[in-house]
Amino acid sequence: MAGRHPSFPEGHSMRIGIIGAGNIGGNLTRRLTALGHKVSVANSRGPHTLTDLAEETGATPVTVTEAAKDAEVVVVTIPLKNVPDLPSGLFDGAAADVVVIDTNNYYPKERDGRIAEIEDGLPESRWTERHLGHPVVKAFNGTYAQDLLDKPRPQGHPERLALPVAGDDEAAKQVVRSLIDELGFDTVDAGGLDESWRQQPDTPVYGLRAGVREVTEALAAASPERPAAFRA
Ligand SMILES: NC(=O)c1ccc[n+]([C@@H]2O[C@H](COP(=O)([O-])OP(=O)(O)OC[C@H]3O[C@@H](n4cnc5c(N)ncnc54)[C@H](OP(=O)(O)O)[C@@H]3O)[C@@H](O)[C@H]2O)c1
């Protein structure tokens, strides 16, 4: 397991809200609580359905609104089509510098149906950001959920995987990169959110289990053309 990143000194516990308690949200809850962070977790059915995860991890089951309130970092990790169902003004009462991580992907054929703006070229995270009304940092969207548990490696380890991170707010992006480092992965700066199509489904970096050099090359090799398999 990775040690703490220098910007998160030993004992620094962040307040992290996780919206979505499925494959990704559940495993992020497991790892982030194990690292000593104060995690609140929410799903669509309510906190009473999250007692098993809470008992296992020590996370606090909450409503979606509570997950966003008072958090320093909020992870939105739900089926993309459900983003517009989240309470409006979710971040109105949140700290101005709350960091919002978007892990979501557009799967029009299997799950999300047709979303015209995305089909017309809007990066998926830009669409999500507009619905949330708060800037997002795109991360974890191409990471296998199980890898969050199985693949953490210490800094400098030859098998340490790298994850691309895109976002417009450099300070927010740095918080996310530090958190990912703490989780046991390297990161690659994938640019601003307008560039985040480079890590969307079916791009060379999507699902790529590789280090910094290969991930950097894969981001550069991406085509802006939306692949047919990911069009409605
Ligand atoms: N699975 C992966 O390996 C993977 C990897 C990278 C990225 N992603 C992306 O990350 C996102 C989450 O994927 P996942 O596999 O973790 O999903 P999942 O296992 O299907 O879990 C979805 C979670 O979102 C919750 N949810 C749905 N609608 C909600 C709403 N309106 N309000 C609050 N919570 C809501 C669900 O709660 P209920 O059960 O109560 O409905 C559930 O806890 C997706 O966009 C996916 O494409 C997945």
pLDDT tens-digit map of 32-91: 999 999 999 999 999 999 999 999 999 999 999 999 999 999 999 999 999 999 999 999
CA 154 from chain center: how many Å? 21
The answer as to whether 171 is a domain residue is yes
Q: Which are the contacts of 180, defined by CB distance < 8 A and separation ≥ 6?
A: 139, 163, 165, 186, 187
- 9 part of a folded domain: no
Is 71 close to ligand 1, i.e. is its CB under 6 Å away?
Answer: no
Ligand 1 mean position, distance from CA 92 (Å): 23
Query: Per residue in 107-148, pLDDT tens?
Result: 999 999 999 999 999 999 999 999 999 999 999 999 999 999
Distance 6 CA to ligand 1 centre (A): 31
The whole-number average pLDDT for the span 14-31 is 98
More confident residue, 133 or 3: 133
> Across residues 1-11, what is the average pLDDT?
47
Structural domain contains residue 73: yes
Compute the distance from residue 157 Cα to the ligand 1 centre, in Å.
30
State the amino acid at position 183 in one-letter form. Answer: L
pLDDT tens-place string over residues 171-219? 999 999 999 999 999 999 999 999 999 999 999 999 999 999 999 999 9
The answer to the question of residue 7 being in a domain is: no
Q: How far is the CA of 112 from the centre of ligand 1 (A)?
A: 12
Give the H or E element holding residue 42: strand 38-42
φ/ψ of 62, rounded to 5, equals -140, 175
Question: Any idea what the CATH number is for the domain that residue 173 is in?
Answer: 3.40.50.720
Whether 45 maps to a domain, the answer reads: yes
Instruction: Provide the token pair at 103.
Output: 């892990």
**Closest CA to ligand 1's atom 20:** 22
In a domain, 135, yes or no: yes
With a 6 A CB cut-off, is 65 part of the ligand 1 pocket?
no
What is the pLDDT at residue 11?
Answer: 55
Q: Please name the residue whose Cα sits nearest to atom 43 of ligand 1.
A: 21
What range does the domain containing 60 cover? 15-223
pLDDT bracket for residue 8 (50, 70, 90): low
What distance in angstroms lies between residue 2's CA and the mean position of ligand 1's atoms?
26
The yes-or-no verdict on residue 10 having pLDDT over 60 is no
Residue 204, C-beta contacts closer than 8 angstroms, at least 6 positions apart: 218, 219, 221, 222
Our answer on whether the CB atom of 22 is closer than 6 Å to any ligand 1 atom is yes
Half-sphere exposure of 119 (CA within 13 A, CB side): 11
Does residue 61 lie in a domain region? yes
Atom 21 in ligand 1: which residue has the minimum CA distance?
22
Does residue 101 belong to any structural domain of this protein?
A: yes
Query: Residues 191, 216: contact at Cβ < 8 Å?
Result: no
In contact, 119 and 1? CB cutoff 8 Å:
no
Task: Indicate if ligand 1 lies below 6 Å from the C-beta of 77.
Answer: yes
Number of domains in the chain: 1
pLDDT higher than 90, residue 7: no
Instruction: Reduce the DSSP state of residue 80 to 3 states and report it.
Output: helix
Residue 4: pLDDT over 70 = no
Name the residue at shortest CA distance from atom 18 of ligand 1: 22
Q: Is the CB of 203 under 6 A from ligand 1?
A: no
The pLDDT score that the predictor gives to residue 12 is 77
Residue-wise pLDDT tens digits, 143-169:
999 999 999 999 999 999 999 999 999
3-state SS class at 187: strand
The tokens describing 3, both together, are 């040690």
